[in-house]
Structure 1
Amino acid sequence: MKITRINASRFMSFSTLDLSLDAGTTVVTGPNAVGKSNLGRIVDVARLVVASHAGSAVQDRLDLYARAPRHGARSFRLTLDIEMDQPWEQELVATFICAAYASGRDVRMAHGRVQPVWRDQDARRRLVPESAHLLLRGSLTVDYDEGSQPRWRARWHHSAEDPESAWNIDLFGGNTVSRATGETAGNKLNLQGAWIRVFPDDEINPGATGPKLDFMKIFTSLNHPINLQTSPHDTQAPILNSVRDLHTLLGWDINEPRQVSFTQVLNAVLQRGIVLTDNRRLPLDRSFSLLSVGRQADLQDGSQVPAELYRIKNGPLLLRQRYQRIQDRFKELVGTGFDVQATPDPEQPGNLLIDVTVSEGDYEYPIAFSGAGRQEALFLSTILVGDPGRVIVLDEPGVHIEPTLQRRIAQTTPDETQCLIITHSADLVPVSAPNDLSRILRLSLSLKSGSSAHRVRQLDPREQARWLQVLGLRDTRALLFCAGAVLCEGATEIGSLGTWWEGSRHSPSSANIALIDVGGHTAFGRYIQFLEAFKIPWAAIADGPALHPGSVLHTQLKGQSLLTATEPDSATPDFGEWKGFWRSNGVFSVADTFGIGSHDGEFEAYIEQLNPQLMQQLKAERSKPRLGAAFANQHPIPDEISSLYNDIRDRLMIPTP
C-alpha cells in the first residue's frame, strides 16, 4: 500500500493540513514542537479507529486521542488517501469479493439451480481483480466528535473520474456502499443480489471461462445501497474455497463461522502495511510467552525486537531469508553480526528468555551491553527489512547513532517502501541527487494557523545543481531545524557577533538562531531562496557595497520579489535612506557608507573604528573567525551591536523569555 495524501483539520498542532506524499522516502524536518511527530499520529489514529470498528480492543489508546482536538475544539477530521498496490493486498480484496458474493443468500435465488460452489468457482475464474477500484483506491476519513455516539467514525470514500460516480462505505455501520451524491433506491442489496442483476446467472458455465467480470460495473449500473460482507457459514454445507482462503489470509480459524466485512479486510491491510515507531525507544525485553513469539510483534517502541527476530529466525523459509537479510543489514551498518538465543525462563514457566547477542572473535555478549547505538541499528535493521509496499514512519531514528551511521541509513532506505523519516538530524537529510530536494519537508508553527508544511517547488536542472551545492554543507542543512537564520557576509562577522551575542542574556543558541557565513555578498541570494522555500525566518548582515542600488544583492532579492518597501532615489543614492530601505527588508548593516572601491564600508572597518589599537594587535591573525572572536572577547559589546541583535530577534519573531 501507499499513502498519497494526508489531510487533517483541527487535530493537535494542525489547524488544516493538506500534504501530498510521493513514493520512497520523505524526510520531515523543523524545530522542536512544530508538530513533526503529529504526522505519524494522524496515521496512528486512522489505523486505530479502523481496528476498533473491526473489533480490536484499542479503546485505551483512542481515549488518549480524544484529547487531540486543537485548542479546545469538540471535533477533528483526518483523511488518508490510500492505494492498495501490492499483489497480496489485491489478492485479499479479490478473495473477499468472491467470498461475499458466493456466500450470499439472495431471496430471489433461494430455489435457483446455481449452487454456491458454482458461483464461487465462476467468480474466482472470471473476476478481474484490478477492476475493484472501489476497494483498492480511496480516501479513509476518520471523524471524532465528543458530542456524537459513537464518538469515532470512519468511512471509505472512492471517487471515479466522473464526479457523479463516487461512493461511500460506512466502516462502522454495516459496510454499506452508497452513492456519495444523489439519491439511492430505498432497498438495500447484498453483494450477491446486486451481482446477479448485472451478471445474470445464465452466464455461469462451470465448464467454460466466460466473459470477464468488471466489478465496478455493479455499482455504475445500479442505484441501490449494497452491503459488502460475507454471510455466516452454514455448518450443514461445505466451506467455500473463497471463504476458506479469506480466513487463511486474515489469519483466522477456518472453523469459526465469522462474517467478514470490508472493514476487517481494510484493517488487515493497515495492520500489515503500516509500521509506526515512537520517538522514545524502550530497553529490549527478555521474557516472552510462547503465544507472543508465535505472532508478529509490535515494534513501535522497540522493546519487542527480540521476540520478532526469534519468530522470523525459526519461521518458514521466507521468514528465515528475511532474518538473514536483517543480519546483513545490521553488519553493513555497524560492521559486526548478531544472533538470537533462547532459553526457558526459570522465573516464569512457559516463557522464553530471548537475548540478541553480538560477537567479537570467539566471544559473544548481549547487545544490551553494546550501547544505545547498536541497539538502534538493530531496531532499524529489523524495521527496514521486510515486505515491500509498506508505509514506515520512523520517528527520530538517529538519536543514538553517530553521523556516519545516520548517513548510511538515509542511503539504504528501501526504494520499494514508502518511508516517513521524522528527524532533527542534518545527516539524515538526503542531498545526493536532484530528486532528493523534493523529498525534504519542513514544518513550521504559527500560533494562529498552527503547523504548516513546506517543500521545494519544481526546479530546472541549473537550479537543482545550485541547491544541491548549498545543501551539501551540513551547516546549511541544519538551518532546516532552526527557528531563524542570520546570514553574514563574511567570517569576521560570525566570530565577533557570535561571541558578543552569545554573552548576552538571550543568546542565539538558546533561541535556536543560526549564524551562517554565506561567503561573500554575491551568495546571499541562493541562501535566501532556500530559506524562503522552507519558510525559515531570516535576516542578513551585509557590508556597505551590498546596499548600493544595482548591487548583486539588490538584483537577487528583486528577482525573488522580496523587496516590498518603496525604493529611495537611485540616481544620487543617499546611504542613510538606502540603509533604512534595506533594514525594512531584513538586511542590516553596521556600515556608515557604501564604501565602493574602498575598505570603508566593510565590517572590519567598523570594528577597527571601535578599537584601532586592538585591531593592530590582531592583524597577524589570518583566520577571520578567530580574529572576530578575539576582538569581541577583548572589547565590550557596543550598544549598536546589542540593538542590532534586538532588531534581528524582532524580525525573526523570536519571543523574549
Structure 2
Amino acid sequence: MKIHSIAAQDFLSLASLDLTLRPGTTVVTGPNGAGKSNLGTAVALPLLVLEQGLGGSRDGSDPLELYERAGRFGAAAYTVSLEIELDQPGEQELVRLFAEAAVAAVAANALNAHGEIGHPERGVLALFPGLNVAADSVTSLFRGTLRIAFSARRRTRWWAAWEFDHDGQPMQWILRGPHADWLCRGQLPPWTEGGSASPLLRFTEAGAEKRGSEAPMIYHFLREEASPQTGRAEPAAIDFARIMANIDPTRARAVDVPVLTDGSGVEPSAIAALSHALGREHTGQERYDFRSVLAAVLRQSLVLTDNRRLPLARDFPLAQLRGPADLRDGSAVAAELYRLKNGSIEEQQRFAQARTTFKDITRLDLHLQSTPTADQGMAIDILVGPAGSARIVQFAGAGVQESLLLATLLAGEPGRVVVLDEPAVNLHPTVQRSLSRHLADVQGIVITHSPDMVPCSDITDLDRVVRLTQQSDGTRVSSVTATHRPQLANWMQRLLLSDVRALLFASGVILCEGATELGALSQWWSQDPAGLGDPGSANIAMVDVNGDASFGGYINYLEAFGIPWAVIADGPAFAPTANLGKQLRKLRLAPDDPPAADADFAAWRAYWSRAGVFTLADAFGTGGTKAGEIEAFLAQLDKTLLDTVQAEHRASKPRIGAAFAAAHTEVPAEVTDLYQQIHTHLTTRSNRPTI
C-alpha cells in the first residue's frame, strides 16, 4: 500500500490540511502546536472507522467515542481523507476476490431464488458462479480516496466512502453511514444526503428495467455476456469493468457479497476463497462489503507508533506469537522478533535485516533467547552486545531500546506504511542521522522535533521534508518548490549544519548580519523590554549569517519552508546597489516603487522595512566611514564602554556585543523599537493567507 496524500478539515488542530507525500519517508517538521502529531492521528482514524463492527476492538470498547470530540474548536463535523494505492500483489488479489465473490453471490442468489427460469437463462446463471473475475478488470479499484466524515448532527454519526475513477468517471462506493446498510440490502434508504444512491450489484428479472429499475442489472449483464441467443462464445472470465461501465457515475453506490438466500442451492467457491483471504471462518452465511477489504489492507499495511513508549514485555502467550505483533507502543518487540526468527524463509530474512539495521544504528549485535513458561507461554529475552558478554536490552538504555523498535519496524513486509511519532526522543544525534539514512528507502511519515532527523545529504532529500504551521486561515504546508531549488542546491554545504536545519522548528527567524548584533541584541531582548516576550520564549531564532552576502541563501531556505523571517543589517546593506538588495530582487521579494537612486538613507530604510529588513544605523556609512556599522551605534551609547570590551575580548565579536549589552543594563529605546517592528512584521507574516 502507498499513501499519496492526507487531507483533513476541522480535525483536531488541523483547520485545513492537504499534504502530498512523495516516495520514501516524509519528514514532518514545524513548531509546537502546528499539528504534527495530529497528522499521525489522521492516518490512524480511517482504520478505526472501518473496523467498528468488524471485530477490530480487542476489549470490546469503542475507540471512536473519543474521536467524537475531535472537531477543531469543538466543531460538530469534520473530515479526514487518505489517497491510497493498493500496489502489492496480495492487496490487488484481495480486491479481485471480492469482485469475484460479489458477482458470483448475486448470480447464485438469482439462480437459487428463480429456479423457475428456464433455458437459456438458467444455464447462464449456472455458468457464472464458477467463473473468475479477470484481474485486469478491477484495476480502477486499486487507487482512490478513502474519505471519512463525522457529524454530531446525524443519527448515524460516522460516514465512509471509497472514491475512485473508472474510465475517466469519478465513482463513489459507500462503506459506512446512512446509505451503506440499506444499499447492501439492495434497497434505497428512506432519506438521502448529498444526492441519491443505489446498490451496485443486484439481480432483477427480465423486464424490470421497464419499471424504472436501476442499472446495472447483473442478470442482464450475465445474459449479454454468455447467452446462446447472442451467439457469443462462453466467456473465460467475468469482465468487472463492463459492469461498472454501465453505472451512472452521479449516484453513490454500495457493493457487497450478499448472504446466500438458500443454503441448499449453489454456493460459489469464490465466497469461501474471499473468507479465507480475509482471515475469517467460512460458514456459508457471511456478508462482506468493500469496507472489509479496505480494513484488512489497512490493518496489514499500516504501522503506527505512539510518541510514548511502554516498557518492553518479556512473557507472551503462544497465541500472541502466531501473528504479527502490535508495535504501536513498542512493548511487544520481543514477540515480533521471535515470530520472524522462527517463521517462513521470508520472515527469517526480515529478522536478519532487523539485526543488520540494529547493528548499523547502534554498533551492537542482537541476540534472541527464549524459554517456555509454566503457563504454556514463552519468555523471550533480547540480548545486545558481543555473544560472550551480551546484556539484556532492558538494561542497555532507552536509546538502544528505541533503536531496537525502529530496526524491527524497518524490517516489515513490503508495502507497509510506517508512521513514526517522535522516534528521536531517546536517540543520540549520530544515531538519528544513521536512522535517517535507513528511512530513505521506507514509505512512511516521521514526525519529529529533531534537526538531526532532517535528511540533507542531497538536494533531493529536501523534497521529502515538509513544514506545518498554524495560521489564522488554516494549516499551511510548506515544501521545496522549483522556485527555490536552484539556490538551495548551491547551499547544501551550509544545510549540513544542524543549527540551520533547526530553523524548520522555529516560529520565526531573525537574521543578523554579524556576530556583534547577535550578541548585543539577544542580551538586551532577553530582558523583554517591549513586553512582547523575549525571542527565545516566543520560539524566534536569531542567526548570525556572517556578512550581507549570505542573506540570500538563508532567505531562500526560509521562504521555501514558509518560515517568517526578518533581517537586521548594517547601513551599507541599504545602499541601492548593495548585495542584500540584489539578492531580494533576485528572489522577487523586493517591494514595489523603490526610492530614487540618490534618495537619502531614511527613504531607503523605510523602503526595505516593508520587506522585513531593519537596522539600528542612521547612515549608509559607505566610503570607509564605518558610520553605518553596529559599532557606531554602540559608540554613540557609550564610547568608553565599547573601547573597554573591545580591548578585553579582542576579535571575538559575539563576546563584544554580549559584554557591552550586559554592562549597558538600560535597554536603548532604539533597540526596544527595533524589536517591536520585527515582532509586528513576523506576526503579520505568520498570519499571511495560505498559498
SS for the counterpart of 1:60 is coil
Distance in structure 1 (CA, Å) of the matches to 2:355 and 2:433: 19
Contact 1:102 1:192 survives alignment (8 Å):
no
Does 1:609 pair with 2:600? no
TM-score (norm 1): 0.89
Unaligned stretches of 5+ in structure 1? Answer: none
Partner of 1:624: 653
Partner of 1:277: 305
Partner of 1:107: 110
Partner of 2:131: 122
Unaligned stretches of 5+ in structure 2? Answer: 116-120, 189-193, 199-208, 686-691
**CA drift at 1:344:** 4.5
Match of 2:462 among 437, 461, 469: 437
Superposed, 1:258-277 pairs within 5 Å as 258-277=286-305
Summarize the Cα distance change of 1:361–1:310 in structure 2 as closer, same or farther, 3 Å threshold: closer
In terms of mean alpha carbon deviation, does 243-252 or 329-338 score higher?
Answer: 243-252
Distance in structure 1 (CA, Å) of the matches to 2:245 and 2:620: 73
Distance in structure 2 (CA, Å) of the matches to 1:226 and 1:529: 49
* Aligned residue type for 1:490: G
Does 1:424 pair with 2:446? no
Distance in structure 2 (CA, Å) of the matches to 1:589 and 1:582: 10
SS for the counterpart of 2:52 is helix
SS for the counterpart of 2:636 is helix
Summarize the Cα distance change of 1:330–1:194 in structure 2 as closer, same or farther, 3 Å threshold: farther
* Aligned residue type for 1:16: S
Distance in structure 1 (CA, Å) of the matches to 2:407 and 2:263: 46
Partner of 1:651: 681
**CA drift at 1:62:** 0.9
* Aligned residue type for 2:75: A
Partner of 1:166: 171
Summarize the Cα distance change of 1:643–1:464 in structure 2 as closer, same or farther, 3 Å threshold: closer
Matched-pair identity in %:
39
Does 1:246 pair with 2:274? yes
Superposed, 1:457-476 pairs within 5 Å as 457-459=481-483, 462-476=486-500
Partner of 2:143: 137
* Aligned residue type for 1:600: A
Partner of 2:118: none
**CA drift at 1:540:** 0.7
Distance in structure 1 (CA, Å) of the matches to 2:491 and 2:262: 65
**CA drift at 1:437:** 2.2
Partner of 1:395: 421
Does 1:490 pair with 2:514? yes
Superposed, 1:113-512 pairs within 5 Å as 114=123, 119=128, 122-123=131-132, 127-160=133-166, 162-163=168-169, 166-172=171-177, 173-174=180-181, 176=184, 187=213, 193=219, 196-197=222-223, 199-200=225-226, 213-222=238-247, 227-232=255-260, 240-254=268-282, 257-345=285-373, 349-360=375-386, 362-413=388-439, 415=441, 417-446=442-471, 448-459=472-483, 462-504=486-528, 506-512=533-539
Distance in structure 2 (CA, Å) of the matches to 1:282 and 1:204: 66
Superposed, 1:36-75 pairs within 5 Å as 36-52=36-52, 54-57=54-57, 60-75=62-77
Superposed, 1:529-548 pairs within 5 Å as 529-548=556-575
Render the CA deviation track for 1:310-356: whole Å, top value 9, x for unaligned: 2222222222221111111111110112223333456xx34433322
Contact 2:10 2:77 survives alignment (8 Å):
yes
Q: How many residues align?
A: 644
Partner of 2:92: 90
**CA drift at 1:158:** 1.8
Summarize the Cα distance change of 1:460–1:70 in structure 2 as closer, same or farther, 3 Å threshold: closer
Distance in structure 2 (CA, Å) of the matches to 1:196 and 1:315: 44
Distance in structure 1 (CA, Å) of the matches to 2:568 and 2:74: 42
**CA drift at 1:518:** 1.4
**CA drift at 1:213:** 4.5
Contact 1:156 1:171 survives alignment (8 Å):
no
**CA drift at 1:218:** 0.9
Match of 2:587 among 556, 560, 567: 560
SS for the counterpart of 1:303 is coil
Summarize the Cα distance change of 1:71–1:155 in structure 2 as closer, same or farther, 3 Å threshold: same
* Aligned residue type for 1:441: V
Render the CA deviation track for 1:174-215: whole Å, top value 9, x for unaligned: 46599x98886764789964651453255999xx99566532
Contact 1:26 1:421 survives alignment (8 Å):
yes
Distance in structure 2 (CA, Å) of the matches to 1:194 and 1:314: 52
Render the CA deviation track for 1:52-100: whole Å, top value 9, x for unaligned: 1534337532111111111121111111111111111111111222222
Partner of 1:18: 18
Distance in structure 2 (CA, Å) of the matches to 1:381 and 1:128: 39
SS for the counterpart of 2:3 is strand
Distance in structure 2 (CA, Å) of the matches to 1:356 and 1:72: 45
* Aligned residue type for 2:539: N
Distance in structure 2 (CA, Å) of the matches to 1:209 and 1:500: 88
Summarize the Cα distance change of 1:171–1:192 in structure 2 as closer, same or farther, 3 Å threshold: farther
Does 1:642 pair with 2:669? no
Distance in structure 2 (CA, Å) of the matches to 1:8 and 1:601: 50
Contact 2:175 2:289 survives alignment (8 Å):
no
Contact 1:426 1:477 survives alignment (8 Å):
yes
Distance in structure 2 (CA, Å) of the matches to 1:544 and 1:243: 79
**CA drift at 1:563:** 3.6
What is the RMSD computed on CA atoms of the aligned residues? Answer: 3.2
Summarize the Cα distance change of 1:403–1:252 in structure 2 as closer, same or farther, 3 Å threshold: same
Contact 2:384 2:392 survives alignment (8 Å):
yes
Render the CA deviation track for 1:124-160: whole Å, top value 9, x for unaligned: xxx4323313432221111101121221111111223
* Aligned residue type for 1:107: A
SS for the counterpart of 2:303 is strand
